[in-house]
A and B are shown apart, each in its own frame.
Chain A
Amino acid sequence: MIETGQLEVRAGLVDHLARLWRYGLVLSGRRDIAEDLVQATCVRALERAPQFAVGSRLDRWLFSILRSIWLNELRSRRIRQGEGVVEAEAALIFEGAKEIETNILARQVLRHVQMLPQAQRETLFLTYVEGLTYRDAAVMLDVPIGTVMSRLAAARETLSKLNSAPENATTAESEG
């Protein structure tokens, strides 16, 4: 007989694959690693399904698993292989994003987000994209809430500059 938690994990996993992949991309900056991360997360989630608290947020639980795999396994392996983690200036935007042709500001935002330090980028993503409260983000990232605030402030400061001369930026984008 399967526990309810297991059923919930099995039934719900499939709904979160794209968002997990996106988080993996934010962490690793590479679509192939993001894909590996999702796969590893699915394996781990199925193994740990009995531990899932029924009624709690499955997406957050999966995110924690993915993050832990990235921090403890894949990232260190890549560094050992000398492949580095993310070359901020290398990709025009995140590899997986390709380009957002329809919205120039969106392109600029993604490009600048990619250039943020990893900790700021992840905090910004979890808070604004995935909608975690400051408190939830602090728990997920295992940092004090003040750190979440200062990371967001630093990230917003950087992003505010990208839009300080929108006309010029827009012209450059449309030509580029």
Chain B
Amino acid sequence: MTTSSAGRPTEADLVAFLDRELSPVQVQWVESWLARDAALRRRLDLLGRVGGGHVKEAFSALLAAAPEARLKAKLLALPGYRPERPATPWRKPWLWARNRPRLALLAAGIAIFMAGMLIDRLLPEWREVVGIEVASDNEDEWRQAVAEYMSLYTPETLSGIADEVPPKDRELAAVGAKLGIHLLPSSVSLPGVALKRAQILEYDGKPLGQIAYLDPRDGVMALCIYADSHQEIAPSTEQRAGLNIVHWASHGRAFMLVGRKTMPELRELASVLSQRLTL
């Protein structure tokens, strides 16, 4: 530690004190200063307002956002990754597993993964039968991200936001400006659902607008607009993250209406929105 234990403690000393990184002698030194220096106590109080615990907590949510399944799949596909068997004879396979429980678990994981791949391979036909679009190309990754994100919403997420028009007006204008599209409350309002919030997010370096609604019966619904589309797509339906989605793309922008409403209801609302927004 480079702390000198002499003179008035610096900001760095105070932070190290808060982080319990000081030696007992240094702790005594800081405490003796704190006992007689009110300004220093105020500094300590200020620096301690957002502590390491807050930072850790804030970042814990990022773990949930990791595309873990895809990362695992990529790892398992690496040529050098295949867990090799020990050079012991195959007569005692369970002894091997017993001695290396983690490897045995890994092997089980791979088996499950292979089964998953098989299911994935079979799934498209099944999806076609029931009329759900198979989602696989890169252009649709943003919808997966949005769907996973929206699946975290509960009605309480939005219920605290007032329904007054003026702030929505400004929010919509700001979001519209980012997306290069004219957004007015009248163009995005929908019958029977409250327009709650418009905000700008980002996906893969491109602006992503989110207009959130609250439906008294079906909860949260959102219209998301992504300013990066290279295709013209007619309104289509799909399911992701347990949510129903109607999506379409026009003039370089991709749209999706996502929520827990039934597909026919969602399709009807999407048709209203697509007419207003893609003219």
Q: Which residues in A have some Cβ–Cβ distance to B below 8 Å?
A: 1-2, 7, 10-14, 17-22, 25, 30-32, 35, 38-39, 42-43, 46-47, 90-92, 94-101, 103, 105-107, 109-110, 113, 124-125, 127-129, 131, 133-134, 144-146, 149-150, 152-154, 156-157, 159-160, 162-164, 174-176
Contacts and interface: CB of A to CB of B under 8 A. Distances in A.
A22 to B, nearest CB: 5
A101 B100 CA distance: 41
B19 A100 contact: no
Contacts of B63: 18-19, 22
Nearest to A24: B66
B61 A17 contact: no
Contact of A97 (B3, B18, B62): B62
Contact of B80 (A46, A98, A109, A154): A46
Given A18-B66, A153-B15, A125 B59 contact: yes
B21 A133 contact: yes
Contact of A95 (B18, B55, B61, B202): B202
A149 B2 contact: yes
Most B CB within 10 A of own CB, among A10, A98, A106: A98
**Contact-residue bracket for chain B:** 35 or more
Contacts of A17: 66, 68, 71-72, 75
Contacts of B1: 134, 145
B210 to A, nearest CB: 9
B106 A129 contact: no
A31 B152 CA distance: 19
Most B CB within 10 A of own CB, among A90, A107, A152: A152
A21 B66 contact: yes
Given A144-B2, A153-B10, A96 B62 contact: yes
